[in-house]
Amino acid sequence: MSSNWKKSLKPDAFVTLLLAAWWLLNVVQAAATGLADDEAYYWYFAQNLDWGYFDHPPMVALLVKLSSWLPGALGIRFMSTLLQPLYLLIFWHMIKPAEATLRQAAVYVLICFSMPLLQLYGFLAVPDAPLLMFTVLFWWAWRRFVQSNTVASAALLGLMAALLGYSKYHGALVVLFTVLSNPKMLKRWQLYFAGAVALVLYAPHLWWQYSHDWVSFGYHLAGRNRAWQPSFTTEFLLNLLLVMNPLWIYHYIRGTKPMFASSDPLRRAMAFTWVGFPVVFLLSTLRGHTQPQWILPAVLPAVCLLFDEARDRKFLVVGSQILVLLYLIVRVLAVVNPFGFKGEIWNNREAYNQLAELADGRPIVFMSSYTAPAKYQIYTGGEAYGDTYYFRRSSQWQYDTSDRAYAYRDVVVGNFTNHTPNRLELADGRTFYYREYHDYKPLREIKVTPTGNRFATVDSTGRLLMEFVVDNPYPYDVLTSEGDTVGLQLAVAYEERNWPGFKGILHDTIPAHGTAVVRCSMVPPAKLPSGTYRGNISIGRRGARYSANSPLMRVKVERSDTSLSVSFGD
Residue pLDDT, tens place only, 259-297: 999 889 999 999 999 999 999 999 988 888 888 888 999
| Residue 425 sits in the same domain as residue 543 | no
- Residue 127's nearest CA partner among 170, 85, 159, 87 is 170
Task: Give the pLDDT confidence score for residue 269 in this predicted structure.
Answer: 96
Task: Give the pLDDT confidence score for residue 221 in this predicted structure.
Answer: 79
| Residue 460 sits in the same domain as residue 506 | yes
| Residue 43 sits in the same domain as residue 92 | yes
Note the maximum CA span of the chain: 98
Domain hosting residue 436, numbered range: 348-440
| Residue 301 sits in the same domain as residue 248 | yes
β-bridge mates for residue 493, sequence order: 498, 534
Beta strand 531-541 with 553-559 is: antiparallel
Task: Give the pLDDT confidence score for residue 86 in this predicted structure.
Answer: 97
Task: Give the pLDDT confidence score for residue 1 in this predicted structure.
Answer: 41
Residue 3 lies in a domain: no
| Residue 364 sits in the same domain as residue 400 | yes
Who's near 200: CB < 8 A, 6+ residues apart?
Answer: none
Residue 189 lies in a domain: yes
Side-chain-side CA neighbours of 11 within 13 Å: the count stands at 16
Residue 342 lies in a domain: no
pLDDT tens per residue across span 181-204: 999 999 999 999 999 999 999 999
pLDDT tens per residue across span 401-459: 999 999 999 999 999 987 788 999 999 999 999 999 888 888 888 888 888 766 666 55
Mean pLDDT (the chain, rounded)? 88
What span, in angstroms and rounded, lies between the C-alpha atoms of 67 and 62? 9
Task: Give the pLDDT confidence score for residue 463 in this predicted structure.
Answer: 74
pLDDT at 389 over 80: no
pLDDT at 566 over 70: yes
Residue 65 lies in a domain: yes
pLDDT at 128 over 90: yes
| Residue 431 sits in the same domain as residue 456 | no
Task: Give the pLDDT confidence score for residue 539 in this predicted structure.
Answer: 81
Q: Which of residues 440, 473, 497 is at a domain's end?
A: 440
Residue 113 lies in a domain: yes
| Burial (CB count <10 Å: 0-12, 13-18, 19+), residue 158 | buried
| Residue 507 sits in the same domain as residue 412 | no
CB 51 within 8 A of CB 100: no
Q: Report the residue count for the chain.
A: 570
Task: Give the pLDDT confidence score for residue 544 in this predicted structure.
Answer: 64
Residue 397 lies in a domain: yes
Beta strand 497-498 with 553-559 is: unpaired
Beta strand 564-569 with 514-522 is: unpaired
| Residue 531 sits in the same domain as residue 561 | yes
Helix, strand, or coil (residue 346): coil
Task: Give the pLDDT confidence score for residue 180 in this predicted structure.
Answer: 96
Residue 525 lies in a domain: yes
Percent with pLDDT over 90 in the chain: 55
The lowest-confidence range among 228-232, 275-279, 504-508, 554-558 is 504-508
What's the angle, vertex CA 277, arms to CA 315 and CA 323, rounded to 5? 25
Does residue 57 or residue 547 have the better pLDDT? 57
Across the range 490-513, mean pLDDT stands at: 72
| Residue 130 sits in the same domain as residue 228 | yes
pLDDT tens per residue across span 158-169: 999 999 999 999
Task: Give the pLDDT confidence score for residue 241 in this predicted structure.
Answer: 83
pLDDT at 482 over 50: no
Does residue 27 or residue 466 have the better pLDDT? 27
CB 491 within 8 A of CB 536: yes
Report how many domains make up the chain: 3
| Burial (CB count <10 Å: 0-12, 13-18, 19+), residue 404 | middle
Q: Mean pLDDT: which of 266-270, 340-344, 459-463 is highest? A: 266-270
| Residue 418 sits in the same domain as residue 294 | no
DSSP at 223: I
Task: Give the pLDDT confidence score for residue 484 in this predicted structure.
Answer: 57
Task: Give the pLDDT confidence score for residue 6 in this predicted structure.
Answer: 60
What span, in angstroms and rounded, lies between the C-alpha atoms of 35 and 47? 17
What span, in angstroms and rounded, lies between the C-alpha atoms of 385 and 406? 10
| Residue 357 sits in the same domain as residue 304 | no
Phi, psi of 273 (to 5 degrees): -70, -40
Q: Which of the four pLDDT bands, split at 50, 70 and 90, describes residue 57?
A: very high
Is the alpha carbon torsion for 124, 130, 131, 132 positive or negative?
A: positive
Give kind and range of the element (H or E) at residue 388: none
Who's near 248: CB < 8 A, 6+ residues apart?
Answer: 302, 306, 316, 319
Does residue 542 or residue 12 have the better pLDDT? 12
Q: Which of residues 386, 413, 440 is at a domain's end?
A: 440
- Residue 540's nearest CA partner among 388, 373, 408 is 388
Q: Which of residues 422, 440, 458 is at a domain's end?
A: 440
What span, in angstroms and rounded, lies between the C-alpha atoms of 208 and 229? 34
Across the range 98-124, mean pLDDT stands at: 91
Does residue 358 or residue 318 have the better pLDDT? 358
pLDDT at 361 over 60: yes
Give kind and range of the element (H or E) at residue 554: strand 553-559
Beta strands in 87-201 (DSSP E): none
What CATH number should be reported for the domain holding residue 541? Answer: 2.60.40
| Residue 373 sits in the same domain as residue 463 | no
Residue 4 lies in a domain: no
Q: Which of the four pLDDT bands, split at 50, 70 and 90, describes residue 362?
A: very high
Percent with pLDDT over 70 in the chain: 91
Beta strand 454-456 with 431-440 is: unpaired
